[in-house]
Chains A and B, each alone.
Chain A
């Protein structure tokens, strides 16, 4: 295959210049404001961007190929590593897709615990976004405040699973284990302290003249444009689209909880900031309702062909022993067909499209990556803005390169 072997960043191959007397500026893939290994190439006229292209793939690890060689229960650990800031959301989307293929019902308790984990993940993800976004625009202080709160959430995940960032705790069939002792108290103390801590950070930015100068009227996206781009989640909502999958297509008992969908009206960087702040407050409401109304019952389905039998049963039931053995050696075999299940992740619609050929491994395993679809907005929003605004726009889109490249 003919290609050049130089490792110098070449921009000629990526696009042709459209203007005269313009300058091409390369940003990334190693750049603190690109939130990972994103490479952005901008053509500038003076300081104004007239063309912008994203180069991705530096983190591509071929997870979709790998999954075709793994049993369903082993695919779970790959989902965490896609959007690693919202790992529980990915686990949930994958579990729902596999459960749709299997046609299995999940006990109410497991559904509520899933909601708690997913919403905690959403808060943690938004906190990272808030800290880094503010840091990009020169506000250093919020970073330390939000990191403290995120540590607390990661501690909660650690109580559940022993793992801080990649819990893999939501599996097809329910959860891996029940809520641990002491979790409820710790969660409740978080729920009472977090809104105050969030307010501290919010007050640092919301009326801050420098912050407003950098974000107000920057990167305006209309609602129609957002939908045509395939942009979802906080980006679409900031542009005035009142659409949230938790409301419009409730999964995992979201219909039991009362919460609002924050919607912006302008669709600029500032609106996206406000929407995400408001979403964190709504998440706190959902978690409080879920923990208050947590039903008794099992944390996984009673179908022993999908989820393992309890340890005690193995000592006195031969059937349980067989199920245990079959499950961990062979896994389960969903019926032939294809299924798509989507959840409202922290960055937008997060879905899994799985094709089963009746074997214990997926025939095709695909994630609908929200950041990947949202990223296209950058190429459109940056045009006509100053080079300094690119940093603000990337931050407001909230990308995770692990999910974009997979």
Chain B
């Protein structure tokens, strides 16, 4: 089954536009998927409009994920550096819809965990890997990464591997070079990873 239509446009798109007005910035259709680009502060309203409307019934929250567009060479949907993509599914019409918000460093996205309780885990994951803060779901502890990890690995400037991770001065990667404390697996100080031994 496909999404119900209201004239030329999908009914859900029309309803979100009614609820948000100008806060719905752009509607993109790419390979049969519909993406709604929404003002960051209004994302909860948009998703509530989709969820609570009995005609639409977007009651299933599939996931949300982050994308870092800082190295993107093409045209963008939103201006901000990061995008958070929400994936909702309607069991009534068996239709899927994606919502996108843009966010920069220092800005926050309102949390969705009060609307969909399942949003808590993916939001924590997005914070852990991208450093995007969700207001109302702020974290002090790492989620997937080790507690002493420094940096947000899915950002484009974060190196995949090599020296930058293991031998950095504490800007990236596991903080094994922090010689103020012995690191995991080191039984006495000064044996591994220090300048004397590695010659650096």
A residues at B contact (CB < 8 Å): 1, 3, 5, 7, 13-14, 56-57, 60, 62, 64-66, 68-69, 100-101, 103, 224, 227-232, 241, 243, 248-249, 336-340, 342, 349, 351, 353, 355, 357-358, 363-364, 366, 368, 372-373, 375-376, 380, 405-406
Contact = CB atoms under 8 A, between A and B. Distances in A.
B153 A65 contact: yes
11 contacts: A14-B141, A57-B146, A227-B61, A230-B60, A230-B62, A338-B33, A351-B62, A372-B122, A373-B62, A373-B63, A373-B122
Contacts of B31: 100-101, 103, 337, 339
B61 A230 contact: yes
Contacts of B148: 1, 3
Interface string B8-49: 000000000000000000000011010100000000000000
B167 interface: no
Contacts of B94: 248-249
A7 B125 CA distance: 23
Interface stretch (B65-73, B103-111, B188-196): B65-73
B1 interface: yes
Contact of B59 (A69, A228, A248, A340): A228
Contacts of A103: 31
A227 B91 contact: yes
Contact of A232 (B60, B117, B154): B60
B135 interface: no
Given A65-B160, A373-B118, A340 B154 contact: no
A368 B68 CA distance: 17
B120 interface: yes
Interface of B: 1, 30-31, 33, 35, 59-63, 65, 67-68, 71-74, 85, 87, 91, 94, 96, 98, 116-122, 125, 129, 141-148, 150, 153-154, 158, 160, 175, 181-182, 184
Nearest to A355: B67
A60 B124 CA distance: 14
Contacts of B121: 372-373, 375-376
A64 B71 CA distance: 16
Nearest to B93: A248
A241 B72 CA distance: 40
Which 7 residue pairs are nearest across A and B when measured between Cβ atoms?
A230-B118, A57-B144, A229-B118, A248-B94, A60-B144, A227-B60, A230-B61
A342 B91 CA distance: 15
Contacts of B61: 227-230
A11 to B, nearest CB: 12
Contacts of B91: 227, 241, 243, 248
A402 to B, nearest CB: 13
A336 B35 CA distance: 15
Contacts of A366: 65
Contacts of A337: 30-31
Contacts of B116: 228-230
